[in-house]
Amino acid sequence: MASAADDSPHLLIPQMKAQFLHCIAQNDDMQNPNNKVLLKEAYDKAKLPAEIEVYAAPHGWCAPDSDSYNMEQAEKAWARLLVQFGKALA
């Protein structure tokens, strides 16, 4: 989602008009800890609402049939998504 590369997807943020929720797995964050910073800076610069959080779970934790499923963290992420939908679709 974010990197120092010239074609990083986060560079498209200024063209967007949505609200955003990024639920980042703990092990993904450990591999690229600056990505969330790049995302936050891009959203702030574009004045777009975004929630970015690192979850205490491994990649794939939200899918019930995943080996890395973490019910507590998945429920937290799904709840945040429902709040996001409520704001965006109200």
User: What SS3 class is residue 62?
Assistant: coil
Q: For residue 17, what pLDDT is reported?
A: 78
pLDDT digits (tens, 9 = 90+) for 59-72: 999 999 999 999 99
pLDDT beyond 90 at 7:
no
What DSSP designation does 18 have? S
15: DSSP letter: G
Angle (CA) 67-72-73 rounded to 5° is: 75
- State pTM to two decimals: 0.82
Pair of tokens at residue 35: 């990505």
Cα separation, 50 vs 8, in Å, equals 18
33 within 8 A of 3, measured Cβ to Cβ: no
Domain ranges (residues) in the chain: 57-90
User: Tens digit of pLDDT for each residue in 28-80?
Assistant: 999 999 999 999 999 999 999 999 999 999 999 999 999 999 999 999 999 99
